[in-house]
Amino acid sequence: MAPEAARARLPALSIYDVSAAIPAKHFPLSKAFYAALGWKVTDVDPTLAVMELAGRRIYLQNFYTKRWADYAVLYVGVQDAYAWYDHVASILRGKSFPEASVGRPSTDLDGSIVTCVRDPSGVELRFTQWD
């Protein structure tokens, strides 16, 4: 069956959200990091937390493999990538998250301005501003 025909037969299959789960090497530290950035962190159970920022949710798992963390990327659309750099840099100056890092904003190949952050587990967050 062609994709168009399948879509025509299933009109009620709309979605309102898509969320991803990311790994945490040290679960309490990762929850504290995201809370410091401004996410509202709510434990679902001892191995899973839901984190919400500006009405968008991601899940943090108390599970870690280096390969997964090194390849995981969260794209976060923002109005001001420079403000996010300042915000994250100020948090990291406190030395509570020694494994986390932030790079200065730069212009990406698509013309967007991006502030790249590595969380304490190595997950990359790309705070991206499109002008």
DSSP 3-state helix, strand, coil percentages of the chain (rounded to 5)?
A: 25, 30, 40
In a domain, 49, yes or no: yes
Would you tell me the crossing angle of helices 81-92 and 27-37 to the nearest 10 degrees? 130
Backbone angles phi, psi at 87, to 5 degrees: -60, -50
In a domain, 88, yes or no: yes
The CA distance from 15 to 35, in Å, is 27
pTM for this model (two decimals):
0.88
In a domain, 8, yes or no: no
Across-strand partners of 73?
Answer: 124
- Structural domain containing residue 30: 17-129
In a domain, 1, yes or no: no
Give the CATH number of the domain where residue 100 resides: 3.10.180.10
In a domain, 3, yes or no: no
Q: Tell me the C-alpha to C-alpha distance, in Å, between residue 130 and each of 78, 80, 82, 89, 114.
A: 8, 9, 12, 21, 9
DSSP class of residue 43?
E
In a domain, 72, yes or no: yes
Residue 17: what residue type? D
DSSP class of residue 122?
S
In a domain, 103, yes or no: yes
pLDDT tens sequence across 23-81? 999 999 999 999 999 999 999 999 999 999 999 999 999 999 999 999 999 999 999 99
In a domain, 9, yes or no: no
Total structural domains in the chain?
Answer: 1
Confidence of residue 8 (pLDDT cuts 50, 70, 90): low
